[in-house]
Amino acid sequence: MDIFGSSESAKVLVVDDHPFSRVMAVDLLTANDYDVIEHDGVSDVFTVVRKVAPDLILMDIKMPNCNGFDICQKLKQDTETRAIPVILMSVADDNQSRLKSQEVAADAFMSKPLESMVILPEVELLIQRKRLYEWLEQIQQVLFLISQAIEKRYSPEGKSGMRFDKFAQGFGNYLNLNPVEINDLILASHLHDIGTVAIPDAVMMKQGKLDAEERELIKQHVLIGEEICKPMQNRRGIAQIIRHHHERWDGSGYPDGLIGESIPKLAQIFQILDIYEALTSQRPYKQPFTPQEALKILTEEAEKGWRNVKLVQQFVAFIEEKELA
Ligand SMILES: [Fe+2]
C-alpha cells in the first residue's frame, strides 16, 4: 500500500508500434510490479486510454498510424485525461524532440533503449505525483460537500454552482484573468460562507430582525472562513475572496472597511458574479429576476457607492454581448 492508501498495482499503458521495444518496456515494468497494458498504436489510442484509465502512459513518438506528440497534446487538453502523466520516448535523442515534448506538455522524455536506472524512478515519481493530485482533489471534494451541507441547513433550496461556474469562466475570460484566478473564483463560490459553521444556529436561523450583537456575530463568518481555508497555501486568492466578499467600494462593508481598489480585485469580481447569480436564480420564495432587471439592480448598487462602477459596467457589457446577444 502506498502513502495515499492505494494497494493496487499502478497501471501503465505502453504504446509503441515496434514489438521489440514494446516487449522491453513491458518486461521492465512488469518485473517491478506494475500492471502493464500494451498497445501497438494501430487502433485509436484515446479509446484505449479511456477504457484502461492508466496511471501513466509510456508512448513512442513515431508510429505509422499516429504521432505521439499529437496524442499527448490532445490528452493534455482533455479534462478527463490531462492528469495522466505521459512519458514520450524515441530512438532519436535530439534536442528538437525534447523541446517538442515540452511543448505538448509531456511529463518526461526518454531515449530508447530504456534504461531501468533512468525510467523506473521517473515512472514512480510521476505516479506518486498523480496519486497526490487525486488525493488533494478528493480532500477538496470533501471540503465542498461539508460546505454545501452547511449551506443547505440555512437555505435548503441551495444554489446553482453550475451557473456560477459558467459566469465566472465567461466573465473571467472577458477580463483576461488567468486560469488560476478563474479557478479561485469558482472554488470560492463553494467555500465563501463556510465560516457560518461556527455561528450559532439560534442566530443563523433566527426569524425576524437581528440585533446589533447578532449582526456582529454573523459578520465573523468571513474571518472564520478565511482561517479555515488558510492552509490552502498555494491558493491564497481563495482566502482573500472569503475575507473580503462583504466589503463595499465606499468602505461601508466588512470586515476591514476597505475602500475602492484596496479591495482585492478577485473579491470585487466575485461579489458581482455572486449577486447576479443569486438575482437571476429561481428560489422557493422568489421568481428569478430577468437578466436586465438583475443588471439594473447591480448598476443601482454601483451608483449607491457599493460596487466598482467600471467593473459593473464591464459586467453589464459582458452579459449583453455574450449572454443576451
Ligand atoms: Fe457571506
Q: What is the DSSP annotation of 112-170?
A: SSP-HHHHHHHHHHHHHHHHHHHHHHHHHHHHHHHHHHHHHHH-TT---HHHHHHHHHH
Does the structure show a pLDDT above 80 at 6?
no
- The share of the chain scoring above pLDDT 70, in percent, equals 95
Instruction: Report how far ligand 1's centroid is from the alpha carbon of 19 (Å).
Output: 60
Does the structure show a pLDDT above 80 at 216?
yes
Instruction: Report how far ligand 1's centroid is from the alpha carbon of 139 (Å).
Output: 23
Q: How confident is the model at residue 314 (pLDDT cuts 50, 70, 90)?
A: very high
pLDDT for 151: 77
Instruction: Report how far ligand 1's centroid is from the alpha carbon of 119 (Å).
Output: 50
Instruction: Report how far ligand 1's centroid is from the alpha carbon of 221 (Å).
Output: 7
Instruction: Report how far ligand 1's centroid is from the alpha carbon of 314 (Å).
Output: 23
pLDDT tens column, 71-130:
999 999 998 899 999 999 998 778 888 999 999 999 999 988 888 888 999 999 999 999
Instruction: Report how far ligand 1's centroid is from the alpha carbon of 242 (Å).
Output: 8
pLDDT for 312: 98
Print burial letters for 57-91: b (CB count within 10 Å at least 16), e (below 16).
bbbbbbbeebbbbebbbebbeeeebeebbbbbbbe
Does the structure show a pLDDT above 90 at 232?
no
Instruction: Report how far ligand 1's centroid is from the alpha carbon of 246 (Å).
Output: 6
Rounded (5°) CA angle 100-105-109 = 60
Instruction: Report how far ligand 1's centroid is from the alpha carbon of 44 (Å).
Output: 49
The residue type at 64: P
Instruction: Report how far ligand 1's centroid is from the alpha carbon of 5 (Å).
Output: 36
Instruction: Report how far ligand 1's centroid is from the alpha carbon of 198 (Å).
Output: 13
pLDDT tens column, 153-206:
766 665 656 788 899 999 999 999 998 899 999 989 989 999 998 988 888 888
Instruction: Report how far ligand 1's centroid is from the alpha carbon of 313 (Å).
Output: 23
pLDDT for 279: 92
Instruction: Report how far ligand 1's centroid is from the alpha carbon of 35 (Å).
Output: 48
User: What domains can be seen in the chain, in order of their start residue?
Assistant: 11-133 (3.40.50.2300), 155-323 (1.10.3210.10)
Instruction: Report how far ligand 1's centroid is from the alpha carbon of 244 (Å).
Output: 9
Instruction: Report how far ligand 1's centroid is from the alpha carbon of 176 (Å).
Output: 26
pLDDT for 269: 98
Between CA 12 and CA 127 the distance in angstroms is 9
Between CA 102 and CA 104 the distance in angstroms is 5
pLDDT for 236: 84
Residue 111, phi then psi, degrees to nearest 5: -95, 150
Cα separations (Å) of 162 from 155, 166, 231? 17, 6, 26
Instruction: Report how far ligand 1's centroid is from the alpha carbon of 215 (Å).
Output: 12
Instruction: Report how far ligand 1's centroid is from the alpha carbon of 154 (Å).
Output: 12
Q: Is 0.85 topped by the overall pTM?
A: no
Between CA 104 and CA 106 the distance in angstroms is 6
Instruction: Report how far ligand 1's centroid is from the alpha carbon of 193 (Å).
Output: 5
Element housing 37 (H / E): strand 35-39
User: What residues contact residue 256 under an 8 Å CB cut-off, 6+ apart?
Assistant: 243, 244, 247
Contact between 179 and 235 (Cβ < 8 Å): no
pLDDT for 1: 60
The grid coordinates listed for 267 are: 473579491
User: What residues contact residue 112 under an 8 Å CB cut-off, 6+ apart?
Assistant: 21, 60, 89, 90, 91
Average pLDDT across the chain, whole number: 90
Instruction: Report how far ligand 1's centroid is from the alpha carbon of 268 (Å).
Output: 13
